[in-house]
A and B are shown apart, each in its own frame.
Chain A
Amino acid sequence: MTGPAATRAGVFARSRGGTDPREAAEWSRRQVAGNNLRALRGRAYPRIRGMTREPSWVFFEILLPFLTTSAFVLVYRALQAPEAYIGFVVLGGALSAFWLNVVWMMAGQLYWEKSQGNLELYFAAPMNLMAVLLGMAVGGLVMSSTRALAVLVISSLVFGVQFNVEQWGLVLLVFLLTMSALYGLGMALASLFLLWGREAFNMTNILIEPVYFLSGLNFPVGRLGALGAMAIATIPFAVGLDAMRQLVFAGQPYITGTPSPEVEALILVAMTVVFTLGARWMIRSIERMARARGSLSIRWQ
């Protein structure tokens, strides 16, 4: 036997599973952990790889947000608003990339995975489904960071934004906590959207513009009074954006009426824990429900 047939025979004769299926089914904790980490990496891969495959994202996700940000900057300038507001708008515009990513590519993703038939394969593979959700989150974070950074740099250069950072460590910490809370919420929403099915897509509209308003995307959220306080207590984008503004525009008198960045960092920690545990609980419940009802993993149900 030569050529492809020999190759095939050789490949098929090798077995990773040893000589006994019952032994092959027993994995050590290390193997389980390795499987979950690799599954995380595997699921992050298409998102990161996709960035280089579709150059159109430069137009849709850098140029268009830049134009939206520019419109607000021009309005503020026409109204002779304090120059600090230009920085607020630019930072909001940059961070909005993460929120859009959470809404479109986290919340709706499991529903799409089900439609494509991927969800069934995820359920049938040995890894924990949380590893898939985390992989989606990490991939989305890398993807959106590039976009956010591009919008931030371009807008800052074009509009001459002046940053004043006094606590770099805290800036980094708050950014990471904001991302943890945001993507934790995304993971929880992914499970919810899967339960609600197609109706969930109407929710995406509710999750974009109203959240932008309540989070003070283009103005300090403290201006909303009690409504702003409520947003800071419940919406990770609102609290993260406010904390980042306080830290990168230190000493600005226009950011008032909200907790200090340290307190907001604690709020973000609490949100991360609640959303991540919530996502874990929900995905487990969904798997149980899917197996009992046959309603989630199978495409036509």
Chain B
Amino acid sequence: MSAARTGSPLPPAISVTGLRRVYDIKPKQVVALAGVDLEVAPGEFFGLLGPNGAGKTTLIKILTTLLLPTSGRASIFGFDVATDTRRIRRIMNMVAGGEQSGYGILTVREQLWMFSQFYGLAGKEGWARVDELIEAVGLAQQRLQRVSTLSTGQRQKMNMARGLLNDPWILFLDEPTLGLDVAAARGIRDLVLQWKAAVPGRTVLLTTHYMAEADELCERIAIVDHGRILAIGTPAELKHRVQRESIFRLELDHLDGGAPSLARLPGVVSAALAADADPEAQRVAVNLVLGEDAALGGVVTALAGLGSQILALRKSEPTLEDVFVELVGRGFAEEVEPAMPAPETPEREPAQPPELGE
């Protein structure tokens, strides 16, 4: 979506062209990104959806200036990620799931103030900003609690507050609800949506492997696998790719002539009694496949003519998982050899030095 298309005078919030990233890991090189092209408009909520090892985190590291591309070009609001790092760092922030940053010895309030200093907020302004963000993320009761004593959900709320300290124009969220329970994950999603909606132009790039999360939050989604973008579009567009026909489930009080009476109607591809229909129940369930949604009107009229009463009508939507399966030929859960090495688990960490008071 270019600036011209959105009518915005700004350059794209994210522009990526031919981006490749190769890790030189013995015994052979690992291609994490294999030529990615992508454009995200200012103000867009964009999602990168893909399984572990797809290259999502590598892309986010490049966009947040932490990693250089092997080849290709990427820019944030027109600033090149390779050369304009300071400018980009002033207008962006990032939050990752399971983040354990900061110092456990500090309170929530102190920790956030420390990070506010890294973004240049004046001392008092920093404290004021921290206090209002603590309220906003719902950590008022924990504000004077040590960071080391926070629960996982509270910790992630604090991380979100950290990510908003500098009012970023672009926020990178790398699996922000990873490991959170349902309520905590919903809290984080609501928070992000409200923050983004409050000021036009705020852009969010979210990586996730939770389909429902991407579907709920993102205006557009790129499906990524093995370092390549397989498809980009709105959730509806992506789902439409795998379903060119409309599927409805009809529940009727009765149906004279059975399903074949519907199958003969114009625009109806097929009609069949649902396999799960209960013969004892005073209703008939029919699965109806239409060439397009508009054919439904004719079906409703025909049913009225047959004296059938519609008790329920539901459109069956494909999920993003269906899209992924269609594109990749396997589900998320069916892992192949990961493109990226798994996180290293040290056999033994050196003992914490006794003087380390942080």
Given contacts A4-B138, A11-B132, A34-B120, contact A24 B353 (CB under 8 A): no
Encode contact with A along B106-119: 1 for CB under 8 Å, 0 otherwise.
Answer: 10001001111111
Chain B residues, Cβ within 8 Å of A125: 89, 115, 118-119
B318 in the interface, Cβ–Cβ < 8 Å? no
Q: Are A11 and B118 in contact (CB under 8 A)?
A: no
Q: What's the dominant secondary structure at chain A's contact region? A: helix
Q: What is the bound-complex CA distance between A24 and B67, given in angstroms?
A: 23
Q: Are A299 and B169 in contact (CB under 8 A)?
A: no
Nearest residue (CB) in B for A127 is: B118
* Total number of B residues with any Cβ neighbor in A under 8 Å: 78
Q: What is the bound-complex CA distance between A126 and B136, given in angstroms?
A: 24
Encode contact with B along A106-149: 1 for CB under 8 Å, 0 otherwise.
Answer: 00100010011110111111110000100000000001000000
Chain A residues, Cβ within 8 Å of B197: 12
Q: Are B24 and A293 in contact (CB under 8 A)?
A: yes
Chain A residues, Cβ within 8 Å of B61: 294, 298
Q: What is the bound-complex CA distance between A35 and B358, given in angstroms?
A: 23
Q: Are B195 and A12 in contact (CB under 8 A)?
A: yes
Given contacts A8-B194, A12-B199, A293-B24, contact A300 B114 (CB under 8 A): no
Interface size class of chain A, counting residues whose CB lies under 8 Å from the partner chain: 35 or more
A163 in the interface, Cβ–Cβ < 8 Å? no
A22 to chain B, nearest CB (A): 6
Chain B 27-68 interface residues, beta-carbon cutoff 8 Å to A? 42, 58, 61, 64-68
Q: Are A104 and B120 in contact (CB under 8 A)?
A: no
Chain B 101-155 interface residues, beta-carbon cutoff 8 Å to A? 101-103, 105-106, 110, 113-123, 126, 132-133, 135-136, 138
Which of B105, B117, B126, B198 has the most CB atoms of chain A within a 10 A radius of its CB? B117
B248 in the interface, Cβ–Cβ < 8 Å? no
A146 to chain B, nearest CB (A): 12
29 contacts between A and B (CB under 8 A): A8-B135, A8-B136, A8-B194, A11-B135, A11-B136, A13-B199, A16-B166, A22-B78, A27-B90, A34-B122, A45-B110, A46-B105, A46-B106, A46-B114, A47-B358, A50-B357, A57-B357, A104-B353, A108-B353, A117-B99, A121-B115, A124-B89, A127-B120, A294-B23, A294-B61, A297-B67, A298-B67, A299-B343, A301-B344
